[in-house]
Amino acid sequence: MVARSRQSPPRTAPRLSYDVTVAISSRSSPGRSGPAPSAGFTGYLASALTGLSDEQRSEVFELSDTVAEVCAKSGIALYEPRKSTDPVHHAHVPDDQVFRLDRQRVARSDLIIYLAHYPSTGAGQELVIAQGALVPIIVLAYEDAPVSRMVTGLPGTVLLRHRDLATLADGLTWCIEQLRPSMARRRAAFAEHHHAAFGDRLRRLRQERGLTHEKLAAMMRVPGLISAGELADWEAGSDQESNLHLVQLREIASALGVPPAELLG
């Protein structure tokens, strides 16, 4: 099927949360050449996958294919959960593995692109993870469709509205080019976060006390809120992937009997 085109009055620019505009016209062919690729950037495509009808899934996949094409031309390696953790085609993947894998992929990304065409609690989670890691977010939506203010209100979010696949491709290409300098600066500034400094300290303090991940998890003031699996992931992952909340950091420090600063170094 073809992603539906909205019949509202024509617009000359996508609506962005940044104070910028760009003229976007519908193309007769989606094959127009784009900007020269810039290697090294990674992207994550968030969208609804659960609870969709066959028709809705086809629409989301067609939108996804357009986004993937634009990203490829723009030099962005795009990760699509539908190809690894789709609830229909990969129902055998355990829930906790889906959460860990997608969470790591979001945190590692230079850019998040969210298809806001259908509501999704999973995509909402991914946006919160991205915002916590200061990953820029582009939200795509039909030009007359409502989008939750919990999404559009996220700092650093660009809202791009489109009529059809052609205006989506043009607008997304332009948005990526506008964000490219910021993505490059972020990558350079956050290079130190690719190391597992926090994980190394957590492992050392745990092992000095002769604790397993299970025993440390059980020592939290409210057992069950931090799991042994999470502790193992935080020890193994980079600071960028772990990116704990302040409350989690304080709880772990309390269980270990150290000030939070000792975990941060």
Both tokens of 68, joined, read 């993937």
Lowest mean pLDDT among 6-15, 19-28, 43-52, 189-198: 19-28
256: Cα separation from own chain's centroid: 31
pLDDT at 158: 95
Q: In this predicted structure, what is the pLDDT of residue 118?
A: 96
- Distance of CA 258 to CAs 203, 205, 207, 222, 265, Å? 13, 9, 14, 18, 12
Q: What is the pLDDT of residue 166?
A: 97
Q: What is the mean pLDDT of residues 219-237?
A: 92
The average pLDDT across 2-10 equals 43
Number of residues that this document lists for the chain:
265
Residue 60 has pLDDT above 50, yes or no: yes
d(CA 113, CA 134): 14
Structure tokens at 96: 């906790």
Q: How many CA atoms lie within 13 A of 72 on its CB side?
A: 9
pLDDT for 27 equals 35
> What average pLDDT score do residues 192-213 get?
93
Task: For residue 94, give every residue at least 6 positions away whose Cβ sits within 8 Å of its Cβ, in sequence order, or none.
Answer: none
Q: Is the pLDDT of residue 71 over 50?
A: yes
Give me the residues paired with residue 248 across strands: none
Alpha-carbon distance 193 to 208, whole Å? 25
Q: How far apart are CA 7 and CA 163, in angstroms?
A: 8
Q: How many CB atoms lie within 10 A of CB 187?
A: 14
Lowest mean pLDDT among 30-39, 88-97, 233-242: 30-39
pLDDT for res 3 = 52
With a pLDDT cut of 70, the percent of the chain lying above it is 85
Distance from C-alpha of 79 to C-alpha of 127, rounded to nearest angstrom: 15
Average pLDDT (13-28) is: 35
Q: How far is it, in rounded angstroms, from Cα 206 to Cα 216?
A: 7
Q: How many CB atoms lie within 10 A of CB 184?
A: 14
pLDDT given for residue 4 in this prediction: 52
What domains lie within the chain, and their CATH numbers? 41-189 (3.40.50.450), 193-264 (1.10.260.40)
Give the phi and the psi of residue 131 in degrees, each rounded to 5: -65, -40
Beta carbons of 18 and 158 less than 8 angstroms apart: yes
Those residues whose C-beta lies under 8 Å from the C-beta of residue 180, and which sit 6 or more positions away, are 38, 41
Q: Which residues contact 224 (CB under 8 A, 6 or more apart)?
A: none
pLDDT score, position 194: 83
Place of tokens 């760009």: 22
For the chain, give the percent of residues with pLDDT over 90: 73
Q: Has residue 131 got a pLDDT over 70?
A: yes
Asked whether 234 and 217 are in contact (CB, 8 A), the reply is no
Q: Of 34 and 218, which is predicted with more confidence? A: 218
Pairing of strands 137-142, 157-162: parallel
